[in-house]
Amino acid sequence: MSSLQLIKSNKQNFYYFLYLGLFLFSISILDVTLNAFLKINITAFLPNILSIFLPLIIGFIGLNFIRTEYSGIKSLDLINKNINTNNFNSILTLLIIFALIKATPPSLSWMIFDANISGDSKEACTGTGACWTYVKVWLRRFMYGMYPNDLHWRINLAFILVIALGFFGFFLRNNLKKYLALYYVIIYPIIAFLVIYYLISGGSFGLVWVETGAWGGLSLTFIVSFFCLIFCFPLGMVLALGRRSSLPMIRYISIGYIEFWRGVPLITVLFMSSVMFPMFLPEDFFMDKLVRVIIAITLFEGAYCAEVIRGGLQALPRGQYDAAKSLGMGYWKMHIFVILPQALKLVIPGICNTFLALVKDTPLIFVVGLAELAGMLALAKTNPKWLGFAMEGYVFAAIIFWIICYAMSKYSYNLEAKYKTER
C-alpha cells in the first residue's frame, strides 16, 4: 500500500498540488462536519455507498497530494511528519478525524444542550438529553451517604483537619525533622483515627452519635482507603523485611502470607470479613462492620504493599548493606538508619500506585452492605421517584473517579521521574 503512487508533484507545479490537496482535504472535512452538525448531505445526489465513502476518498487523495519529503513550509512539514507519513497513516488519520467530528454533536447535545439541571423533581427533566437534576438532588447523598444533612460539616471538618495534619510535617523545624518518619508512621495514623472517630462518629464532646451504617458516599471511599493505606504500610514493611530475612521460618511465613492474599480476589476477602470473621472472634465480642472491612482490606493490601517495598529493598546496591555491616551495625540499626530511609524513598511511586488500586477497589465494599459512591448510585437508581436515570449517575461517578485517579497517577509519574534523575 505504501508503494501506491498517484501523480506526484515536482518543483514547478508544487504549489498547484499543495492548494489542490488542501482544497480536497478541507472539502472532505467540510462534508463530514455538515453531515454531523447540520444533517446536510451535500453528496446526496450520488449513489448511497459512494456518498458514504466519498469524504474518505477525497481526503485521501488530498493528503496524498500534499505529501512531500521536505517543503520548507513549517506547518506543512509538521503535518506531513505527524499525521501523513504514508498512505496507511493518512487513512487512519482521516478515520480518526471523522470519528471525532461525528461523535461531537450527539455527546454535546446529550451532556449540555438538551440536558436539564433546573428544578428539583423528575418532572423538571423534559429534554431528550441528560437529567442533571437527578445528580443535583442526590448530590448530598452521593457525597455523604445517609449521614444526617445538618451534620455534614463534621465530615468536612474532619477531612480538612486530617489533610492539614498530613501537611504538618512540611513545617517542622529542621532539628525535629528526624522524627518525621516516626510522626507519619505512628503518631499521624493515631491522631487521624481519633479525629475521624470523634468527629464523624460522635458520641462525646456533645456531638450526636452517628452509626457507621449511615456513613456512605464518596466520603466513605476516602475514609476506607485512607485508613487502609496508613495501616497497610507498616504491615507491608514488616512483611517485606520478613520475606528477605535470613531466618527460614520467618521467611516462609512471610512468603505464605503474601502469596495467599495476592492469590485471592478482594471480593472473597470481603465475604470472609462479613460471614467468616465473626465466627473466629470470642462470642460476646462485637466488631463494627466498617472496622471489619477496613481490617480485611488492610490485610489484603498489606501483601501488595510488601511486594512494592521488597522491590525497593532489592533495588538498593549490596554495598549499602556491606557498608552498614562493616560499621558494626546490627540488623535493626542497619535497616532503620541506612536501608529503609533509602528504600522507602524509592518505593513512593509504587505505593502511590497501590493506593490508586485501593481507591479503585473500595466500591467493592458494597458486597457487605456499605454504600459508598457506587453503592449509593445503586440505591438511588432503584428509588421509585427517580427511575430511569442510571446513565446520568454512572457518568457522574465515572467523572469523579476519573479525576481523582488520573490526578493521582499523574502525580505518581511525576514522583517516578523526580526520583529517577536523583539516583
Partner 1 sequence: MNNKIKKILPQIITVLFVLGIFGFFTFNAQINMDNRGIDFGFGFLNQESSFDVQFSLIEYSGSHSYARAYLVGLLNTLLVSFISIIFCTILGVVIGVARLSSNFLIRNSAAWYVEFFRNIPLLLQIFFWYYAALRALPLPEKAEPWFGVTYMTIKGYYIPAFIWNNLDIFLYSILAVVISIILITTYAKKVQDNQGKQIPVFLISLGLIFIIPGLTFLIGGVTLDFGIPVLKKLSKTSYIYEGGIGLPPELIALVLALSLYTSTFVAECVRAGIQGISKGQKEAAASVGLTPNQILKLVVMPQALRIIIPPTTNQYLNLTKNSSLAAAIAYPDLVLVFAGTALMQTGKAIEIVSITMLTYLSISLAIAAIMNWYNKKIEIKEK
Q: Is 336 in the site for partner 1 (CB under 8 A)?
A: no
Please state, in angstroms and as integers, the Cα–Cα distance from residue 84 to each residue in 20, 57, 65, 79, 88, following that order: 16, 15, 11, 6, 9
Compose the 282-311 pattern: x for residues touching partner 1 by CB under 8 A, - for all others: xx----------------------------
Among 110-118, 173-181, 226-234, 400-408, the segment contacting partner 1 (CB under 8 A): 400-408
Among 248, 317, 328, 384, binds partner 1 (CB under 8 A): 248
Among 172, 187, 267, 315, binds partner 1 (CB under 8 A): 267
Q: How far apart are CA 52 and CA 43, in angstroms?
A: 9
Among 34-42, 195-203, 242-250, 302-310, the segment contacting partner 1 (CB under 8 A): 242-250
Strand, coil or helix: what is 387? coil
The closest of 186, 191, 190 to 161, measured between CA atoms, is 191
Amino acid (1-letter code) at residue 184: Y
Residue 217, beta-bridge partner list: 372
Among 4-12, 34-42, 160-168, 249-257, the segment contacting partner 1 (CB under 8 A): 249-257
Pick 51 or 245: Cβ nearer partner 1: 245
Please state, in angstroms and as integers, the Cα–Cα distance from residue 216 to each residue in 8, 154, 293, 302, 419, following that order: 66, 14, 14, 24, 37
Q: Helices 217-243 & 289-315, crossing angle to 10 degrees?
A: 40
Among 80-88, 160-168, 291-299, 313-321, the segment contacting partner 1 (CB under 8 A): 80-88
**Cα angle value 239/241/247 (rounded, 5°):** 100
Among 13-21, 170-178, 268-276, 309-317, the segment contacting partner 1 (CB under 8 A): 268-276
Grid coordinates 495534619 are at which residue? Answer: 165
| Residue 228 contacts residue 295 (beta carbons within 8 Å) | no
Q: Is 69 in the site for partner 1 (CB under 8 A)?
A: no
| Residue 165 contacts residue 192 (beta carbons within 8 Å) | yes
Q: Is 384 in the site for partner 1 (CB under 8 A)?
A: no
Among 77-85, 115-123, 154-162, 209-217, the segment contacting partner 1 (CB under 8 A): 77-85
Among 57, 157, 208, 275, binds partner 1 (CB under 8 A): 275
**Max Cα separation, the chain?**
95
Pick 179 or 402: Cβ nearer partner 1: 402
Pick 91 or 207: Cβ nearer partner 1: 91
Among 128-136, 197-205, 211-219, 279-287, the segment contacting partner 1 (CB under 8 A): 279-287
- Number of chain positions touching partner 1 (CB under 8 A): 56
Please state, in angstroms and as integers, the Cα–Cα distance from residue 385 to each residue in 111, 378, 389, 397, following that order: 22, 14, 10, 20
How many CB atoms neighbour CB 6 within 10 A?
10
Compose the 362-381 pattern: x for residues touching partner 1 by CB under 8 A, - for all others: xxx-xx------x--xx--x
Beta carbons within 8 Å of 393's beta carbon, 6+ residues apart: 134, 135, 138, 142, 377, 380, 381
**What is the grid cell recorded at 185?**
508512621
Pick 242 or 312: Cβ nearer partner 1: 242
**What is the grid cell recorded at 268?**
472473597
Q: Tell me how far, at minimum, the Cβ of 76 lies from partner 1, in Å.
A: 14
Pick 152 or 360: Cβ nearer partner 1: 360
Question: Which residues of the chain form contacts with partner 1 (CB under 8 A)?
Answer: 82-83, 85, 89, 92-93, 96-97, 247-250, 253, 259-260, 262-269, 271-272, 275-276, 278-283, 359-364, 366-367, 374, 377-378, 381, 390-391, 394-395, 397-398, 401-402, 405-406, 409
